[in-house]
């Protein structure tokens, strides 16, 4: 990237409207030559995407299928997930699209999903943790955990740890964690990950997304040298069914500036397919470039909080973790 392009990109990144909306991605495409992902072959690669029955997950699945990947989508509603599979196959012109049904907020469902994937798949090149939950009122999962935390932190942790043997055996595999720009507003609060006091849906969502980014860095550090790379990204502000259902006023105000699902999913696909992401680990990306994880000094983790988050998830995930896992290369934080 030229100096001028870096300058413009930095100016965009300094603002929310300039960076997160469709303005950001459209300008950045013109700043430098963006690799044409449709020219990248994913033939022979197996990609598993959670929360793929609509929105960003479905957009990413459709594009990766068009690139030749064997796509496996995970959804909690059987009929909706099968319908999404049929639409992805039809729209991509590639019929190797499989379905797994699981609710990521349920640890039993995650355990069953891990067992089913290990039984059915002989390789896994990319795991995309995309499933999300933004609720107006506090609800708990079947395991008694706050729903956003269960769906976007605990469930992905158990799923990723359970599938790590297959990812490692495949070689050159990637884990892509889908976060949100909203996480910039919150810090990691290990003592209240489940929002037990003063619940606000948007805050619980942002805290969960912050935790997922922190977890990505931990995975990248703990499993360095394993042959698996871990990255997180945020899609900007995209018009998805989740935004429509949970943030109607936000959608109405910013409607013309919201990204399409395809635009929001672009960096997911790029992280899954391009070569550059294989040269680093544990980073946070937006519009195909690594970004800082903090915009406010008040969101930085306190000493020891990263390790406390990891230890808490190990304890809560229980037997869904892979057998024999140890504690490689813990972080100092």
270-284 residue pLDDT tens: 999 999 999 999 999
* 182-228 residue pLDDT tens: 999 999 999 999 999 889 999 999 999 999 999 999 999 999 989 99
What CA–CA distance (Å, rounded) separates 99 from 82?
7
Which domains are present in the chain?
A: 1-34 (no CATH), 42-320 (3.40.50.720)
Q: Of 100, 184, 199, 205, which residue is the catalytic one?
A: 205
pLDDT value, residue 332: 42
pLDDT value, residue 252: 64
> CB–CB of 87/78 below 8 Å?
no
Cβ atoms within 10 Å, residue 231: 25
Closest CA to 185 of 175, 200, 198, 173: 200
Cβ atoms within 10 Å, residue 11: 12
> CB–CB of 52/58 below 8 Å?
yes
Alpha helices by DSSP H, listed for the chain, are: 3-13, 16-20, 22-31, 55-66, 78-92, 107-120, 147-149, 155-170, 201-222, 241-246, 248-254, 261-273, 305-317
Q: Which residues of the chain have pLDDT under 50?
A: 320-333
H or E element: which one contains 178? strand 173-178
| Whole-number CA gyration radius for the chain | 19
pLDDT value, residue 164: 97
Q: Is-catalytic flag, 205?
A: yes
SS3 285: strand
Say what the pTM is: 0.92
What CA–CA distance (Å, rounded) separates 111 from 94?
29
């Amino acid at each position: 990237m030229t100096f001028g392009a870096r300058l413009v990109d930095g100016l965009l990144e300094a603002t929310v409207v300039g960076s997160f909306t469709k303005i950001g991605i459209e300008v950045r495409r013109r700043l430098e030559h963006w690799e044409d992902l449709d020219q990248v072959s994913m033939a022979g690669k197996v990609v598993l995407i959670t929360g793929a029955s609509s929105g960003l997950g479905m957009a990413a699945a459709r594009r990766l299928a068009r690139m030749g990947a064997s796509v496996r989508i995970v959804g909690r509603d059987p009929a909706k997930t099968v319908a999404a599979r049929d639409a992805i196959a039809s729209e991509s012109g590639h019929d190797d699209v499989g379905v797994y049904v699981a609710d990521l907020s349920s640890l039993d469902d995650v355990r069953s999903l891990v067992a089913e994937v290990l039984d059915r798949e002989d390789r896994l090149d990319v795991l995309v943790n995309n499933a999300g939950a933004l609720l107006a009122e506090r609800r708990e999962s079947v395991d008694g955990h706050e729903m956003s935390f269960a769906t976007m932190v605990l469930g992905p942790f158990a799923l990723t740890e359970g599938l790590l043997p297959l990812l490692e055996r495949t070689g050159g595999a990637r884990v892509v964690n889908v976060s949100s720009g909203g996480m910039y507003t919150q810090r990691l609060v290990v003592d209240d990950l489940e929002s037990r006091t003063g619940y606000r849906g948007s805050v619980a969502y942002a805290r969960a997304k912050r935790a997922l980014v922190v977890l990505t860095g931990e995975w990248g550090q703990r499993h360095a040298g394993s042959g698996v790379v871990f990255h997180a990204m945020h899609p900007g502000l995209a018009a998805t069914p989740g935004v429509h259902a949970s943030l109607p006023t936000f959608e109405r105000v910013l409607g013309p500036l919201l990204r399409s699902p395809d635009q929001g999913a672009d960096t997911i696909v790029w992280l899954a397919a391009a070569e550059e992401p294989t040269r680093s680990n544990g980073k946070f990306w937006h519009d195909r470039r690594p970004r800082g994880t903090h915009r406010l000094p008040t969101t930085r983790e306190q000493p020891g909080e990263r390790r406390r988050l990891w230890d808490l998830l190990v304890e809560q995930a229980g037997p869904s973790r892979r057998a024999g896992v140890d504690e490689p290369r813990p972080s100092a934080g």
